[in-house]
Amino acid sequence: MVGLKKRKPEWLSTLLHSKFFDSCIDHRGLRKNEKNMFCIDCNLCFCKHCITSSTHCNLHRCLQICKYVYHDVVRVQDIQKYLDSSQIQTYKINGEKAVHLNSRPQLKEFAKTSKPKAGASCEACERHIQDLPNRFCSIACKMSSNAVIEQQSQEIFTKLDKLSSENDSSEVIQEWVSTTLLRRRKLLHKRKGIPIRAPLS
């Protein structure tokens, strides 16, 4: 299984921004021609007829996109082969677990007036999460959080290099690293809201 990379792969970005279930232009005359398939190797979406008609290679790595309450989801057993989907809220579709591709819109008025529920909130969009220890409501939210972590890590090493080049003592550097990492660790364990980048100076 390939783990979730720090940098979002191109196919994942396309997957999250694709519009599924539109009619396939190449098979407009056939029934069930909605584009609900995605090829990781070709980085595009297509319909099931594209495979059977040899328009698309059936040896490529493909994902089937489904609908859950009018939103796009993918089965965990399918996406887990290519992406780490752990800590993402799952839902049952025909007895199989699935995860949302993108965060679902949530009305601010509803969020303010709704009663508190058991569980936690997505660390990226603050949407309610039913099952702990999940931290995200969708693949896109997890990728967004990973991007923040990567940026914070880069800033730590940049500051560390600067301290070293200025000939600071090893004690000063060690103290700064320990303080900064502790601050980052606290941010990562927050259950609500988007992690906030602390000043490095």
pLDDT at 107: 60
pLDDT at 17: 95
pLDDT at 191: 47
Task: Please count the other Cβ atoms lying within 10 Å of the Cβ belonging to residue 139.
Answer: 24
Q: State how far the alpha carbon of 146 is from the alpha carbons of 59, 143, 153, in Å.
A: 31, 5, 10
Largest CA distance in the chain: 73
Q: How far apart are CA 196 and CA 187, in angstroms?
A: 7
Q: How far apart are CA 78 and CA 63, in angstroms?
A: 6
User: What residue type is 118 in one-letter code?
Assistant: A
Task: Please count the other Cβ atoms lying within 10 Å of the Cβ belonging to residue 146.
Answer: 18
List all residues 6 or more positions away from 97 whose beta carbon is below 8 Å from its beta carbon: 75, 76, 77, 90, 91
- For residue 154, the surrounding DSSP H or E stretch is helix 139-165
pTM: 0.68
Q: How far apart are CA 36 and CA 28, in angstroms?
A: 14
Q: How far apart are CA 108 and CA 5, in angstroms?
A: 32
Q: What is the mean pLDDT of each run of 10 residues along the chain (201 residues)?
A: 56 96 93 94 91 72 94 96 94 94 75 56 90 92 72 59 63 63 56 47 42
The alpha carbons of the chain give a radius of gyration, in whole angstroms, of 21
pLDDT at 36: 96
Give me the residue label for tokens 């809201």: 193
Q: State how far the alpha carbon of 188 is from the alpha carbons of 123, 131, 149, in Å.
A: 9, 18, 8
